[in-house]
Amino acid sequence: MQANKKANNKSTLKRVFSYIRPYMPLLVLSLLFAAVTVVLTLYVPILIGDAVDFIVGKENVDFDNIFMILVRFAVVVSATSAAQWLMNLWNNKMTYRIVRDIRTEVFCKLQKLPVGYMDAHPYGDTLSRIVTDIDQLSDGLLMGFNQLFTGVLTIAGTLVFMLRINIKITVVVVVITPLSLFIAAFIAKNTFQMFKKQSEARGKLTSLIDEMVGNQRVVQAFAYEKEAQSRFEEDNKELEYSSLRAIFFSSLVNPSTRFVNGLVYAGVGVFGAVGVIRGGLSVGQLTTFLNYASQYAKPFNEISGVVTEFQNALASASRVFELLDEPVIAPDKEGAAELAQPEGTVELKHVSFSYVKEKPLIEDFNLTVHPGQRVAIVGPTGCGKSTLINLLMRFYDIDGGDICIDRTSIYDIKRDNLRKNYGMVLQETWLKAGTIRENICYGKPDATDEEVIRAAKTAHAHSFIKRMPKGYDTVIGEDGGNLSQGQKQLLCIARVLLSLPSMLILDEATSSIDTRTELKIQETFARMMKGRTSFIVAHRLSTIKEADCILAMRDGHIEEQGTHEELLEKGGFYAQLYNSQFETY
């Protein structure tokens, strides 16, 4: 178990460095200015020591030399500040470019993930990985670049300067100080998993908040506020517990290392004082040595802090890399076909599919739809109606069999081309933040204003759009803002009417529209479906009487197939579904 953790840490660290590699020039510049900063910083104690020697002894103050030292001191401090500012500038540029690259890669990855991933993972947790975890990684990298470089260089530089003054006292410093690193390493090794649990708890809480905020009306409608508050408090306590543990153990690093540093400073003071008494050191040299002892010990504090923060960053990075390592949608076959204007023959041959392998949903499903046919799919909830639509669009890949359009397997057709040839209007509407015109043009960005208005009029959306503050230029929020569900659905219908592809999928397309408008929309659909292969999913069976073929599905199988009149005459499963709409209880 411990070996796996070490291997995971090493693998994560290696991947983080792979993102640093393209910015090596910035890293070299940062190291250069870090070296300048350290050298100038280490020169300051020498100036202080010299100044002390010029004021030691009765009537032995050399003001001329002290003045010259003060001038040099001012120049050195100014140059140090400039070098440190430039070092921080390059560090910031490097860090935020690395984070930009990772976040861009993660967002690109999202576009390639199968629909099944998003169905199986809470949106809030995914959002937490993309935003919060990458921010944590950014903080860890920035602290590492800012403090790790200067810390290591300060330790090396201070050691050289101290050896030039007194070897014995330097040995005392070198022997005691590394204890702080061992303490920091021990604590950091045991806090990685704590920080990972903290990140997971944060993702869980973000997911809950996203769920409750996005469904606030449902929460209030069903008086779920107390239960929501209870779930929030439970997840919040979990985050509090994991955060307190991680922060408590990581916060032990600083006082532990400071205690060791205090021992170092005391050791230098004692041995140095003895050296001054015996004449081996001057008072100024002891002052310089004490400054160096402090400077030598300080980076160990900073490095230990960096190590702790870096454990948090690595824990966050591992969650980000988990997302990046998810299997993507299989790429299109080499030489995959593009259908220019398909006739609309759709065939499903011995199709089998299941969301969970142990629970088959669709087995040995066969269907042939001829060009221009209107096929209605009906059945109880969970029978596989929407699943069938998902398979036609290749949102999910089948487990067995084949699906063909115009005798060409959809797995030999480019995905984007396949989906462009379908027009979808779903019960669940999707609108982006932007103008109404942009939302209607989503499938045809180059559409003219005349085409947009014509599509909106055909969808009976033009009248309510004109009543909006800026008409078609009215900006709506994410998912439609304050538009009613019916208005959102009309905009989605207008979007399909604008592009008018060869085949149509209508999945409860008028479920949120009032009866009067629905009758008009049904007439529009009838004209729109003429000559186009259409799949209609409906619960209100009165809306699919005119379908050329009705598939009555149950448990992933076609129970019955035929026209409305034929199925009613049979008096079977479809007749039961249809007549149940008119039963009184």
pLDDT in tens, 296-333: 767 776 776 677 677 778 888 888 888 888 888 888 88
pLDDT at 184: 67
The better pLDDT of the pair 265, 419 is held by 419
Please identify, in words, the CATH class of the domain defined by 346-580.
alpha beta
Residue 185: pLDDT above 80? no
With beta carbons less than 8 A apart as the criterion, state whether 174 and 90 touch.
no
Q: What is the pLDDT of residues 39-87, one digit of tens each?
A: 888 888 778 777 777 777 666 777 778 888 888 889 989 998 999 899 8
Q: Which two tokens stand for residue 393?
A: 């669009």
Instruction: Locate the domains of the chain by residue range.
Output: 100-324, 346-580
| CATH superfamily of the 100-324 domain | ABC transporter type 1, transmembrane domain (1.20.1560.10)
pLDDT-derived band of residue 1, with 50, 70 and 90 as boundaries? very low
Q: Which two tokens stand for residue 124?
A: 């809030």
The number of CA neighbours under 13 Å toward the Cβ of 87 is 23
The better pLDDT of the pair 438, 477 is held by 438
Q: Which two tokens stand for residue 186?
A: 């021990």
CB neighbourhood size of 544 (10 A) = 20
Closest to 529 measured CA to CA, from 553, 513, 551, 549: 549
Closest to 317 measured CA to CA, from 451, 480, 136: 136
The better pLDDT of the pair 482, 129 is held by 129
pLDDT at 16: 85
Rounded Cα gap, residues 496 and 490, in angstroms: 10
For 435, list phi and psi in degrees, rounded to 5. Answer: -80, 160
Burial of 64-87, coded b for 16+ CB within 10 Å and e otherwise, reads eeeeebeeeeeebeeebeebbebb
Q: What is the pLDDT of residues 215-245, one digit of tens each?
A: 776 777 667 788 888 888 888 888 888 888 8
CA distances, 112 to each of 299, 325, 330 (Å)? 44, 12, 9
- DSSP H helical segments within 279-414, as ranges? 283-324, 385-392
Q: Give whichever of 43-52, 188-197, 553-562 has the largest mean pLDDT.
A: 553-562
pLDDT at 59: 64
pLDDT at 402: 93
Those residues with Cβ within 8 angstroms of residue 73's Cβ, 6 or more apart along the chain or in another chain: 44, 47, 48
Question: In this prediction, what percent of the chain has a pLDDT beyond 90?
Answer: 5
Q: What is the pLDDT of residues 477-522, one digit of tens each?
A: 777 777 887 788 888 888 888 888 888 888 876 666 677 777 777 7
Q: What is the DSSP string of 144-201?
A: IIIIIHHHHHHHHHHHHHHHHH-HHHHHHHHHHTTHHHHHHHHHHHHHHHHHHHHHHH
Instruction: Find tokens 């998810």 and name the residue.
Output: 326
pLDDT-derived band of residue 288, with 50, 70 and 90 as boundaries? confident
Rounded Cα gap, residues 118 and 107, in angstroms: 13
| pTM of the predicted protein model | 0.68
Q: What is the pLDDT of residues 84-112, one digit of tens each?
A: 899 888 888 888 888 899 989 988 888 88
pLDDT-derived band of residue 585, with 50, 70 and 90 as boundaries? very low
Q: What is the pLDDT of residues 372-390, one digit of tens each?
A: 888 888 888 778 788 888 8
Cα-trace Rg, the chain: 35
Mean pLDDT score of the chain, rounded to an integer?
A: 81
